[in-house]
Amino acid sequence: MDLAFAEAEAAALRGEVPIGAVIVDRSGTVIAAAGNRTLELKDPTAHAEMLAIREACAKFGSERLTSCDIHVTLEPCPMCATAISFARLRRVYFAASDEKGGGIEHGPRIFAQPTCHHRPDVYGGIGERRAAEMLRNFFAVRRN
Amino acid sequence: MDLAFAEAEAAALRGEVPIGAVIVDRSGTVIAAAGNRTLELKDPTAHAEMLAIREACAKFGSERLTSCDIHVTLEPCPMCATAISFARLRRVYFAASDEKGGGIEHGPRIFAQPTCHHRPDVYGGIGERRAAEMLRNFFAVRRN
């Protein structure tokens, strides 16, 4: 999760909403790491999780990441939660939960849908305070 | 929608699930067209809609497609429906509805969620029979 936080900090320095994601394999080796790049890439799908999933799939040459876990600094949105399910990721660890935009514990609760075909194990609240503070600081500066 | 069907047919010829998507601007000019490429690109996020959104955003140099509509041969999944909302697409036209994997009229009904910040107008059932038949034929051949 530390590397995910570093990616989130790097995203903030680029002027992006500070969210970072890291994908590790069964042994804990980092396969992919990314921060949010929606503004830089002018791409509304360029969330940290999506970029990390695409990078990991490209490395493995497979659209499935069955033996991998993803660590994210914020509860994934419904787009990313669905992509996590499609990629067959084994576990999702996230820091802050997201009442307004989250798609796992909030909103459409993607993995709880009967039409969801792969439900990873979910562990929330890993470093929650740090992630929430980072987002709060980012938006506080923006609003001034 | 005819061009979306042509993209779906081209996807089938590549061995992909036959789904096509086209984004047009207010005047009806085609901005982006794509078929499903998840297997070819080894990318579980490479659905037709996602590729079309990314192509259109790249063309406009903007992560918002406020004045554009998307035509898809199958009801978008929750990932694509969320991306459509993020991209601020104005209207979604789709052909066949998708009880098992759809995310607009089925499953998480993304646009009906209180946490959904942009709800495009939705028009389903445009050429439903043609799209359903195309998918049925594709899977029938695969299962033999």
> pLDDT of B36-74, one tens digit each?
999 999 999 999 999 999 999 999 999 999 999 999 999
Cross-chain CB nearest to B79 (options A42, A86, A114): A86
Distance (Å, whole) CA A130 – CA B143: 50
Q: What is the DSSP letter of B110?
A: G
User: Smallest Cα–Cα separation from B65: which of B50, B79, B77?
Assistant: B50
pLDDT (0 to 100) of residue B144: 60
Contact between B108 and A110 using a beta-carbon 8 Å cutoff: yes
Is beta strand A20-24 parallel, antiparallel or unpaired with respect to A69-74?
A: antiparallel
Cα–Cα distance measured from residue B112 to residue B119, given in angstroms and rounded to the nearest whole number: 8
Q: What is the pLDDT of residues A53-103, one digit of tens each?
A: 999 999 999 999 999 999 999 999 999 999 999 999 999 999 999 999 999
Residue among A79, A106, A114 minimizing CB distance to B79: A79
- Is A75 a catalytic site residue? no
Catalytic residues of B: 49
Instruction: Please give the domain boundaries of chain A with CATH numbers for all domains.
Output: 1-138 (3.40.140.10)
